[in-house]
Structure 1
Amino acid sequence: MAEILTYEDRHFAGVEALWEEVFPTDSPWNKAAEAIPAKLKVQPELFIVAEEAGDVIGTVMAGYDGHRGWLYTVAVKPEHQRRGIGTALLIEAEIRLSRSGCKKTNLQIRAGNEAVAAFYRRHGYLVEERISMGKRFDC
C-alpha cells in the first residue's frame, strides 16, 4: 500500500526518475533539478509524494497564491496506475490547499490528453473555456 508523504530530500532521485519516465518531453525548467529546489523555497508542504516499499511511485506539487490553487506534476508510475494512487495524491493536495483557505483549484493538461482529462473529470474538474498564456523570464 502506498504511503502519502510530504517530500523530503531522500525522495529526489525517485522523483527525478518518475518525472523522466512520465514527462519525457517536458521543458528543461520543469525537470527535477530546477523545479524541486524552487518548490522547496515556497510552500514545501504542498509537494507530496506517494511511496511504496521505499520507492517513489507518485507525486503532486501544488501551490496557492491567496486567490487560486494550482496543481502541477501529478504523476504516477505507469505500472502503479489504476490503483487509486493518483486519486490519493489529488485528494491530499486538495485537503492541504483547502486548509490554506483555497476555494478553487486550477490545473493545465496538454491538449489531446484525453485519458488525463477523464481522470480529472471523474474527480469533479471541469473544462473551462480559457486561453492559457505564459511568459518565461530570463533570470
Structure 2
Amino acid sequence: MTPDLHIRLASLSDAVEIARMSRRLIEHGLPWSWQPERVARAIASPNTNVAVVREQDELVGFGIMEYWETDAHLVLFAVRPERQRQGVGTSLLTWLEASAVVAGSERIRVEARRDNFAARSFYNEHGYHELRIKRRMYSGTADGVHLEKWLRTRGDA
C-alpha cells in the first residue's frame, strides 16, 4: 500500500492532464472523446466526482464517477503504468466507492475493453463482477465488458 497518498477532487487546472492521460492510457486507438473541455465539464458537474492523485505536482492517477438515482458509473479510471501495482489504484477506487456510498448509490457500474485483462483483473479483485460482453462497444471496433459491484441492497440503509 502507498503511504501518505493524497486523493482530492480535481480542479479545472487538472483537466488538461487528465484528458492527456485518458488519451494515452484509456482511449489509445480510439477517437479522443475525453478532451480537456469534456473533462472540465465533468469537474464542474454537480453529479460527478473527478478525483486525482498527485505526487510532486505530477498526476499519478484519476477517476471520474457519475452519480445517478441509485447507481454510480465509474466513467474513467487510470493510474500511470509505473505506479500500477503499488496501491494507488486501490486507494483511489476505495475513495470513489466510499463517495458512492455517501451519495446513496446501491451499485457501481464500469466498463473495460475486453482485451484489457489488467483492468478486468483489477476490478474482479475489488469485488466487481462481469455481467456481459458487448461487441464493438468502443467506436464500433473494440469489444467491451460491463462490470458491476453492489454496495448495498434496497433494504439496507
Q: Calculate the TM-score normalised by the size of structure 1.
A: 0.84
2:119 is equivalent to residue 110 of structure 1: no
2:59 is equivalent to residue 56 of structure 1: yes
What displacement does 1:87 show? 0.7
Contact 1:48 1:61 in 2 (8 A): yes
Higher strand share: 2
What displacement does 1:133 show? 9.2
SS in structure 2 at match of 1:63 = strand
Distance 1:115 1:95, change over 3 A: same
Higher helix share: 1
2:34 is equivalent to residue 30 of structure 1: yes
Q: Calculate the TM-score normalised by the size of structure 2.
A: 0.75
Q: Which residue of 1 aligns with 2:144?
A: none
Query: Where do 5+ consecutive residues of structure 2 fail to align?
Result: 138-157
CA distance in 1, matches of 2:41, 2:11: 14
Distance 1:68 1:44, change over 3 A: closer
2:90 is equivalent to residue 87 of structure 1: yes
Distance 1:40 1:125, change over 3 A: same
What displacement does 1:74 show? 0.6
Q: Percent identity?
A: 21
Q: Which residue of 2 aligns with 1:39?
A: 42
CA distance in 2, matches of 1:87, 1:26: 26
What displacement does 1:3 show? 1.4
Runs of 4 or more above 4 Å deviation:
130-134
Query: Where do 5+ consecutive residues of structure 1 fail to align?
Result: 135-139
Contact 1:6 1:45 in 2 (8 A): no
Q: Which residue of 2 aligns with 1:137?
A: none
Higher relative contact order (CA 8 A, sep 6+): 1
CA distance in 1, matches of 2:124, 2:23: 25
Contact 1:7 1:45 in 2 (8 A): no
Q: What CA deviation, in whole Å up to 9, does each residue of 1:92-117 have, x standing for no partner? A: 11111110100101000111211110
